[in-house]
């Protein structure tokens, strides 16, 4: 860790309390309260007061939030942090090409230190963009050593990280049964520092081999997060099997939930789980049309996620924008098919800001702690303000401004659990040089392992003549008529 060199930053970092003065405050409370020219006072780890011209304790440091927007730290419920080590590499992939990369090529060659490098960069990437909570959907944990490395990176950086333990290189009923995994899980749960989930997918195999993994999750008290409704990979049979065996719970997260039948959406709605929508991902991958328009019709709670920066952006601004745009595009499209015109839009900017904050907190069961700016809650706070930008005035509709005008570079200040982690547009006490060195080592390792030709081909790969599209999971032979029967 380095010391903040900016004396103003050091003063705010070291103060016992911080007040953000004179901003437009999106509290994201249940009533949707918005306060103009208002303050947010943080004392220690918690929000002590929200309102106009607050009196503050002696020694409180002040951050001028004039012309800015103050909102809760954003929450991402599905991010493959380890893949940040190869940021942007797969910009032109399809889902099939990703499966080849992840299951058969580079994904196999990630060492524990490579998982560490990706996670370390991803935590800094998150905080810098105002994302103070993220689920690390860590499905490259080939050994508990890899998991230790993932955890080490998460615990090195301030922020609220959830390790969703997964391993695509072995069947979930195998890795979850191992004593190593279970000992690791118990230690993390008992440590109380990082939350834990189990991350695995359900293929729809009628023998339901994933049952054993769900039982382990239940025994350990861990929520399950699962890629559901992914065209060509997971489908209605997986949902039905989960439901009939009693494994669909309010703590279950259904990632994408895109290509599913009416019956599956009803099962999700009836059992109280939530969906994690990754609209940039669904728009370019082919899991199915971004599902928020359908989820809304069933009253299924929604949170947002960025999925992976091996392809797309890693900030919630992009996630909100992509979600609002895809949802509206669908609404128009459906109306046009009926010869109708949409004259009043259904999904509002306020709704997607809610999904990126409260929605995430509710999905993770931490809404009593974070997700809104209310007295007593943990101080995960973001100030969006950029006095040098012509895009940051006038702020007339603050929700609309967050979704369609602002971007990650406009994030001025971030507090995580009351701790200053970004100030005046720069990360505080973050060792970027260390993260950069770790990433360079990982990229060199993967490039040399794959060879120059393989490395180059990976960015624009041919689809090999294998059965990958039939069933991307290399740990099972299961085939289903709903997927393509090639090979």
Name the residues that contact Zn ion, by CB under 5 A: 307
| Cα 412 to the center of its chain, rounded Å | 21
Torsion of CA 256, 262, 265, 267, to 10 degrees: -140
CA gap 17, 208 in Å, rounded: 53
Least Cβ distance, residue 308 to Zn ion (angstroms): 6
Residue 291 CB burial class (10 angstroms; 0-12, 13-18, ≥19) = buried
Query: Which residue, 232, 365, 359, 340, is CA-closest to 295?
Result: 359
**Distance (Å) of CA 197 to CA 88, 136, 194, 462:** 27, 9, 10, 34
State which residue, 82 or 116, has the beta carbon closest to Zn ion. Answer: 82
What is the end-to-end Cα distance of the chain in Å, rounded? 52
Measured distance CA(135)–CA(76) in Å, rounded: 6
Question: What is the three-class DSSP state of 486?
Answer: coil
CB closer to Zn ion out of 22 and 118? 118
Q: Measured from the CB atom, is 253 or 357 closer to Zn ion?
A: 253
Taking the least distance from each CB to Zn ion, the nearer of 116 and 137 is: 137
Shortest CB 44 distance to Zn ion, Å: 36
For residues 184 and 188, give the distance between their C-alpha atoms in angstroms, rounded to a whole number. Answer: 6
Least separation in angstroms between CB 146 and Zn ion: 17
Least distance from Zn ion to the Cβ atom of residue 281, Å:
7
Q: How many Å apart are CA 245 and CA 252, to the nearest integer?
A: 14
- Say how far apart CA 427 and CA 4 lie, in whole Å: 9
**Closest separation between CB of residue 322 and Zn ion, Å?**
15
- Cβ nearer to Zn ion, comparing 43 with 363: 363
Kindly state the smallest distance separating residue 148's Cβ from Zn ion, in Å: 22
In the complex, least distance from residue 227 CB atom to Zn ion, rounded to whole angstroms:
6
What's the min distance (Å) between Cβ of 330 and Zn ion?
Answer: 21
Under a CB-based contact definition with an 8 Å cutoff, are residues 77 and 276 in contact? yes
Nearest CB to Zn ion, comparing residues 39 and 76: 76
Strand order across the 302-304 sheet: 74-79, 131-138, 160-165, 195-199, 224-228, 253-256, 274-277, 302-304
State which residue has the least CB distance to Zn ion.
307
C-beta closer to Zn ion: residue 165 or 399: 165
Which is closer to Zn ion, CB of 39 or CB of 307? 307
- We find the least distance from the C-beta atom of residue 307 to Zn ion, in angstroms, to be 5
Q: Are 292 and 331 in contact, with CB atoms under 8 Å apart?
A: no
What DSSP character marks residue 378? B
The nearer residue to Zn ion, 199 or 414, going by C-beta atoms, is 199
């Amino acid at each position: 860790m380095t010391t903040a060199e900016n004396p103003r930053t050091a003063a705010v970092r070291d103060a016992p309390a911080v007040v953000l003065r004179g901003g437009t405050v999106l509290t994201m409370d249940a009533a949707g309260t918005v306060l103009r020219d208002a303050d947010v006072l943080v004392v220690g780890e918690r929000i002590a007061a929200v309102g106009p011209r607050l009196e503050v304790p002696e020694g409180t440091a002040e951050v001028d939030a004039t012309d800015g927007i103050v909102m809760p730290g954003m929450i991402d419920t599905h991010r493959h942090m380890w893949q940040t080590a190869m940021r942007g590499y797969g910009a032109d992939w399809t889902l099939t090409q990703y499966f080849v990369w992840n299951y058969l090529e580079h994904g196999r060659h990630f060492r524990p230190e490579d998982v560490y490098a990706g996670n370390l960069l991803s935590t800094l990437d998150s905080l810098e963009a105002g994302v103070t909570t993220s689920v690390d959907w860590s499905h490259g944990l080939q050994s508990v050593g890899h998991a230790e490395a993932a955890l080490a990176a998460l615990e090195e950086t301030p922020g609220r990280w959830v390790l969703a333990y997964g391993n695509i290189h072995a069947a979930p009923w195998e890795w979850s049964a191992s004593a190593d995994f279970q000992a690791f899980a118990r230690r993390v749960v008992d440590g109380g520092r990082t939350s834990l989930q189990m991350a695995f997918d359900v293929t729809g195999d009628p023998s339901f081999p994933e049952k054993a993994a769900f039982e382990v999750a239940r025994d350990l008290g861990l929520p399950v997060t699962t890629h559901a409704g992914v065209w060509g990979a997971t489908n209605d049979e997986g949902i039905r099997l989960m439901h009939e065996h009693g494994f669909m719970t309010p703590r279950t997260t259904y990632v994408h939930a895109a290509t599913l039948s009416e019956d599956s959406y009803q099962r999700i709605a009836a059992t109280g789980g939530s969906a994690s929508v990754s609209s940039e991902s669904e728009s370019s991958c082919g899991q199915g049309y971004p599902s928020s328009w359908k989820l809304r019709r069933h009253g299924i709670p929604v949170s947002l996620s960025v999925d992976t920066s091996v392809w797309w952006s890693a900030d919630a601004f992009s996630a909100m924008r992509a979600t609002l745009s895809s949802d509206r595009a669908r609404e128009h499209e459906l109306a046009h098919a009926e010869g109708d015109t949409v004259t009043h839009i259904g999904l509002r900017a306020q709704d997607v800001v809610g999904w990126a904050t409260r929605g995430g907190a509710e999905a993770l069961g931490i809404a009593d702690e974070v997700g809104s700016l209310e007295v007593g809650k943990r101080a995960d706070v973001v100030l969006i303000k950029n006095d040098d930008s012509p895009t940051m005035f006038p702020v007339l509709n603050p929700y609309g401004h967050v979704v369609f005008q602002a971007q990650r570079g406009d994030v001025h200040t971030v507090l995580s659990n009351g701790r200053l982690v970004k100030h005046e547009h720069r990360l505080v006490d973050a060792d970027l040089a260390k993260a950069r060195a770790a990433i360079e080592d990982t990229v060199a390792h993967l490039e040399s392992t794959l060879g120059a030709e393989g490395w180059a081909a990976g960015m624009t790969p041919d689809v090999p003549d294998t059965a990958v599209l039939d069933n991307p999971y290399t740990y099972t032979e299961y085939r289903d008529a709903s997927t393509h029967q090639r090979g």
